[in-house]
Structure 1
């Protein structure tokens, strides 16, 4: 029987990248989906570009919505479930924001009443269009929308954490209204967990929506500091999964590793399969893992200009739909049966205050202590400092030992695999 953990891929069309919505070719999409389904994966994450679907605040293009539904139906024919990102947003270094939010119409994405009305309407509309499709998993609000809310974005839409909380509540409610009972969530890049002034907080990530989503990229300083075969690089995805659990109110809240990839040149192409194998194996050792969704399905065509170099080669499949070695790694993992991972009984204390979350970032004492524990053979999770003595909370999570970073032996973190 297949693994209980879901295995999927973020769908990047082989022809036209996400601009394929402008020249939608269902035949090309079907060929892409055939190549994905052949790997034994069970779901895709789909990215409708916001300006193409809602070019005016009061115009959601019916043809675009029909094309999204057609894509979902084509996926169903191939045994693939579909998660849809709504407010798209930001992808591979490019921002896709409608003109009615920029320049002469500059309005804050998270606080302006008119913008919120438009966003809510789009999310509700997309969710409702797919609500009766059995293979529709649910909506993700958007891809790493927190990157719009703070630096290093060159023109951020500033908001307070309270305003973000209100935004998340309202947008998730719109998804639920459109498609009741589906798995609706939000997803941010790792500044949520690592950046002190980021208004999207760990608590929001772990408490809003049906599951917690984490996006793991080792180009955030992890691979630069420690190398591609280090314990921190190969366990970074597992670290984010376990770090997120510290803030969850539900001790059994599932976590979705919604983005993870092998970025060159930090992970050269000839080593991508080994990195993939280690990353997947270590993530599968995390209890409560909902799924692993690799970034991405197909390479970006070299005919398209101005992408960061690493973006062109991230696909499991080449631009002509041929699987790479790392695709075979994911295929084996998806087809092999697995047992639920046992509880992680050792918990590392992390600060509850989001103003000092950089302690958990690469180079921080929490980060270093967690990987020292791993290097010593432990299987750590995390617990908030304000809950570290709460025996009921610890028992609910199966935690029997609590350690602080300064109690972990101060030998250098990392080391290569044997």
Structure 2
């Protein structure tokens, strides 16, 4: 099992890509490496690299490659995301897709062709780095496809599949052997029947199934931030994702999980319980915590919880959650946290419309899963259509 963090630069957050500092990056990554992690997830801002549909900035690609090199010096592998996309409540979409130039990012042929160019260029810029873990197409890009996004880019499920097929192929065209090519969706894909990006898309495209677990999605409201329904949500979501697999050896990667302070009042305890439970998931590829550093208070208009999600403060001081993360990594690597095999199975009826909502954290299926889990590992989940 791999352990990592989503890297949020301490000085200027992701806006730091505007005036990239290798010195600041090395300081941040040195602290991150000290936690005992083996990788980071890196998120350059898409509009800064491709500010015009026909322009992909070489200097911006070089900055990304420099971060990968610095990480390699410190023993860290790097997964690079492409379409940012959406980060911490802010959208970063280039001007050639908005207002007077608004076009659908999923269905406009010219736009999709330009996205392929961008993904190929970004992948090629880091392809020769020996510490490249992989390429993810973007961060929760499916949130652009439907409500509650205020100005969505509508797409059908078949259109979403074709978009993923083309961009995955673009990344694979430049990625070296062994590098993961993945895509990441927020949990509406699993819990919202109106979301055009579906669970089958998560398992049909890319080399691993990606999950992002956030308990402000209803779990904490129903069970409390430290209740079993919250501390076990990441495990449940990973098992739900695995239920859709056609290949039993396909890995699941918990690529985002964090302790949001708007619903969790003890971050270290939430982290420990979450990691202890999710570690029992069969074939779990890794746990990548959100995030490395807090958002600095000089940056305005973020939701309050975003200012306190880091393992380090914005001035680089390790927080109690960061210390607990390092402790849990060491304990899990040493086998000090027992991981028992699960023997129970629950069947989700995916043959009827509404099955995604029925699997949500406030619904009876999840309550039944928690009851069956007791104090041990949660049941495996299978689909009625698969059985």
TM-score under structure 1 length normalisation: 0.89
Q: Where does 1:156-167 land on structure 2 (aligned, <5 Å)?
A: 156-167=152-163
Measure, in 1, the Cα distance between the counterparts of 2:219 and 2:294. Answer: 24
Q: Is the 8 A contact 2:280 2:341 kept in 1?
A: no
Indicate whether 1:218 and 2:221 are aligned.
Answer: no
Q: In the TM superposition, what is the alpha-carbon distance from 1:73 to its structure 2 partner?
A: 0.3
Q: Is the 8 A contact 1:50 1:88 kept in 2?
A: yes
- Give SS of 2:183's match: strand
- Equivalent residues of 1:216, 1:237 under 8 A apart: yes
Q: What are the ranges of 5 or more consecutive residues in structure 1 without an aligned counterpart?
A: 389-418
Aligned partner (choices 61, 67, 70) of residue 74 of structure 1: 70
Q: Does the 8 A contact of 1:8 with 1:293 survive in 2?
A: yes
C-alpha distance after superposition, 1:206-248 (max 9, x if no partner): 2211000100000001101111221111100000000001111
- In structure 2, the residue corresponding to 1:153 is in which secondary structure? coil
After TM superposition, give the deviation of residue 187 of structure 1 in Å: 0.5
1:280 matched residue in structure 2: 275
**Aligned partner of 1:138 among 134, 137, 140:** 134
Residue of structure 1 in register with 2:343 after alignment: 345
Q: Relative to 1, partners in 2 of residues 1:231 and 1:92: Cα closer, same or farther, differing over 3 Å?
A: same
Who is 1:368 aligned against? 367
CA contact (8 A) 2:235 2:378 kept: no
Query: Hey, what's the Cα distance between the residues in 2 that align with 1:56 and 1:377?
Result: 52
Does the aligned pair in 2 maintain the 1:55–1:98 contact within 8 Å? yes
1:24-39 equivalences under 5 Å are 24-39=20-35
Cα separation, partners in 2 of 1:355 and 1:90, compared to 1, 3 Å: farther
CA contact (8 A) 2:250 2:283 kept: yes
Q: Is residue 382 of structure 2 the alignment partner of residue 383 of structure 1?
A: yes
| SS in structure 2 of the partner of residue 124 of structure 1 | helix
Moved over 4 A (4+): 338-343
Q: What do residues 357-399 of structure 1 show as CA deviations (whole Å, max 9, x unaligned)?
A: 10001222221211111236463010001223xxxxxxxxxxx
- Identify unmatched segments of 5+ residues in structure 2: none
Distance in 1, Cα, partners of 2:199 & 2:340? 24
CA contact (8 A) 1:202 1:354 kept: no
Any idea what the Cα deviations from partners look like across 1:156-197, whole Å, max 9, x if unmatched? 000000000001111000000011431010001100000011
Q: Relative to structure 1, is the Cα distance of residues 354 and 195 closer, same or farther in structure 2, using a 3 angstrom cutoff? A: farther
Distance in structure 2 (CA, Å) of the matches to 1:209 and 1:351: 25
Identify if the C-alpha distance between structure 1 residues 378 and 293 changes in structure 2 by more than 3 Å, giving closer, same or farther.
closer
1:44-63 alignment, distance < 5 Å: 44-63=40-59
Deviation per residue, 1:289-321 (Å, 9 max, x gap)? 100000000000000000000000000001111
8 Å Cα contact 1:87/1:141 also seen in 2: yes
Q: Give the match's secondary structure for 1:386.
A: coil
2-side partners of 1:136 and 1:195: how far apart? 33
- Residues in 1 aligned to 2:366 and 2:206: alpha-carbon distance in whole angstroms: 26
Q: Please say which of residues 187-196 and 355-364 is displaced more in the overlay.
A: 355-364
In the TM superposition, what is the alpha-carbon distance from 1:128 to its structure 2 partner? Answer: 0.8
Q: For the Cα contact (< 8 Å) 1:196–1:354, is it kept in 2?
A: no
Q: What residue is the counterpart of 1:155 in the other structure?
A: 151
**Alpha-carbon contact 2:340-2:376 (below 8 Å) kept:** no
8 Å contact kept, 2:39–2:79: yes
CA distance in 2, matches of 1:281, 1:185: 25
The 2-side partners of 1:258 and 1:170 are apart by 22
